[in-house]
Amino acid sequence: MAQKGVSFKIDQKSLVDLQNKLKKAGLNGKQVAGQAMYTLATHIGNESQALVPVDTGVLRGSMDITRQKSFTQKTVRAEITYGGPSAPYAIVQHERTEFNHPKGGEAKFLEKPFLKHTEGFPQSFVERMEAEAGFTTWTGGTY
């Protein structure tokens, strides 16, 4: 099954301005973007932990955040996954909103923090990159 992702387009002027700043400072734009993406993924993942349904605690303990290892590609990625070998179980728990979770947690445990933290994209991500590069102080919220 092919993996689905979310793509955003960044305003060309904002991106050109940021690229110029990064170049002037001697910073690698892809590395700054990669760090900003990993920071965002870490905050989304950490927030999702409080929402993961609990039975034995195995699902909550299965979260993995993977950062892109190489910045030679045109894309910048970070992945948040749950379930490992039990990913089908994680998907059912994530998608089935009618399930009752008496020990805590809820459906859409990853989707809810994702939507919260990506509100204002892509401009908020450009601002996050500026903060990662040390040009500004992050004022855009929790991440």
Express each pLDDT in 18-61 by its tens digit: 888 888 888 888 888 888 888 889 999 999 999 999 998 899 99
pLDDT above 70 covers a percentage of the chain that reads 82
Q: Which residues make Cβ contacts (< 8 Å) with residue 102, sequence separation at least 6?
A: none
Structure tokens at 72: 């030679």
pLDDT value of position 120 = 80
pTM: 0.81
Sign for the CA dihedral angle at 63, 67, 69, 73 comes to positive
